[in-house]
Structure 1
Amino acid sequence: MVWDPETTDSQDWDERGLRLAAETTAGTWIVEHVHNFDHTVASLVPPVFPAYARIFHPASTIDDETVRWADVADANGTIAHPVMEWGSIVGSWHISEQEGLWHDSPVAGSLPARTTRALADVLRRFTRTPDHCWFAHWEGSGCIAAPSNYSRLPMPSRDMVLFSGSIDLADTQFGADEQFPTGMSAHLWWPDDHAWCVATDIDLMTTYLGASPECVDAVLADGALEALPVTPDQKVTWDSDIINPLPSSPPDQ
């Protein structure tokens, strides 16, 4: 796929070509299998896959260059590992930047468009239905306004509006326009053949993938992504990191 972010990142879902789904039965299999919100990976991605990965949203420099969590951990003398949390590797949830290292912390609640493009380029190789995918976005994000008579996908604590389209539209930024080009990604997406499932919770700086071992291995090996293997029972809360020193809680906790 040849992506053209200069012309697409500022286009909302309807401009990109996503279609609003009037009913949500395509996502019933996910709702039936995810855990009630118990703050584990399995409450975001259904625990029906043989392998899982955690994709880290990159930090960025003042010039918008990406910065990997592993490099931030190394610079701070902390340890990069699958359950690391941003506040733990930096040393605090209250630091707004580290001069010469990163200027903007990882985005919470949205997988950045260029990271999504890299992930989608891997995932398209592991589905028979790349032209028929489903994308769900939490209706409380403030980035969408869907008709009230359309069904919502009842994910735990997150009623979502459902859209359909090809995997080429995975990088759609909901709520984006020319004045405010930074919208918000889909919070849940999967192909029609259920070969994998991707989840980005509104409160988290990382995204989770459930898939085949071969698919997860390909994601882990891709140089454009920072990802580590996880398990469905892994905690996803700010205080989950039990290796690095635990800082005081984030401002919104």
Structure 2
Amino acid sequence: MKRRGLGLLRPLGDDVSAADWAVTAARDFADHAVGSLVPPVFEAYARVFHPARREEAGRDVQVRWGEVAAANGRRAHAGMQWTAITGSWKYLHEETQPGVWDIEPEEGTLPAVQAEALVQVLAGFTTTAHECFYAVWDGFGASAVPPAAAKVRMPGREMLLLIGPLSQAATVSTETPPWEQSPSLWWPADRAWCVATDVDLMSTYVGASAACVEAITTAPELEAWPIDSDHGITYDSDTLNPVVSPPA
């Protein structure tokens, strides 16, 4: 699926009160926890891993983190980190592991295929799929969001607020072509769940009901694990694999 423009998403104007609950509830960004991205007010949380890709017979094949971990003798779990399961920082933006993966996971954006699968799940757990709020980090260099959009001052990440139907989460790009950029934070008007994709991460986090998280983590199209809102989101938060320190 290719994302094209903002579609039905539109600026909300000067009133950003719809985001007050998220601004107030989110943990300090310096905590570097799941709750710093998704407000820690939900019953349960899920981590959705952005897949790597491997070239096979002229086409891209999605590669799950669990496959990468197994190939490197590491353990797949909810808190795994890319440098820990690959074993080196050289596999972040530099080298690849031919035969395992050729293109690293998308950083800072939820790939369209995973976005569509996630939307299919989330649609069954809200009564306001027709009205969702989308916050977009205002630091993107090729932003397609109108400059008049009102600003939401999330901890550590100021964002611009849009409104539109849930279906748009899987089809729009908040950056101008040829770049594809998912929204940074989105939730329905009934606040039944909330989705966050931080600009620096290769994962997307969801806060929701326990039933919704179970549906996300069992969806065959997604590689997702239940996770706690207190869990860390940095490279050194992998508690089951050897943590590799970044180069000096």
1:204-244 deviation digits (Å, cap 9, x = unpaired): 11010000000000001100000011111100011111211
Structure 2 counterpart of 1:25: 17
Q: Is the 8 A contact 1:133 1:191 kept in 2?
A: yes
Distance apart, 1:97 and its partner CA: 1.2
Q: Give structure 2 stretches of 5+ with no counterpart.
A: none
1:59 aligns with 2:59: no
Which segments of structure 1 move beyond 6 Å, counting only runs of 4 or more? none
Q: Any residues of structure 2 matched to 1:79-90 within 5 Å, and which? A: 79-90=75-86
Q: Shift of the alpha carbon at 1:148? A: 5.1
Confirm or deny: 8 A CA contact 1:143 1:184 kept in the other structure: no
Instruction: Give RMSD over aligned pairs.
Output: 1.5
Counterpart for residue 175 of structure 1: 175
**C-alpha contact (below 8 Å) 2:121/2:216 kept by paired residues:** yes
Q: How does 1:35-114 map to 2 (within 5 A)?
A: 35-37=27-29, 38-62=31-55, 63-95=59-91, 96-114=95-113
Q: Judging changes above 3 Å, is the alpha-carbon distance between structure 1 residues 84 and 176 closer, same or farther for their aligned structure 2 residues?
A: same
Structure 1 residue matching 2:163: 3-state secondary structure: strand
Distance in structure 2 (CA, Å) of the matches to 1:100 and 1:161: 40
Structure 1 unaligned regions, length at least 5:
none
Deviation at 1:248, TM superposition (A): 2.7
Is the Cα–Cα contact under 8 Å of residues 139 and 145 in structure 1 kept in the other structure? no
Find the aligned partners of 2:194 and 2:100 in 1 and give their Cα distance. 32
TM alignment of 1:206-221, pairs within 5 A: 206-221=203-218
Q: Give the number of aligned pairs.
A: 239
Q: Does the CA contact (< 8 Å) of 1:10 and 1:176 recur in 2?
A: no
State the 1:60 CA deviation. 0.7
| Counterpart secondary structure, 1:236 | coil
1:14-69, CA deviations, whole angstroms, 9 ceiling, x for partnerless residues? xx121111121111110010011110011101111010010000001122211100
- How many percent of aligned residue pairs carry the same amino acid? 45
SS in 1 for 2:180: coil
SS of the counterpart of 1:48?
coil
Counterpart position of 2:191:
194
Amino acid in the other structure paired with 2:21: W
User: In the alignment, what sits opposite 1:184?
Assistant: 181
| Pairing 1:231–2:228 present | yes
TM-score by length of 2: 0.92
- Select 2:237's aligned residue among 219, 237, 240: 240
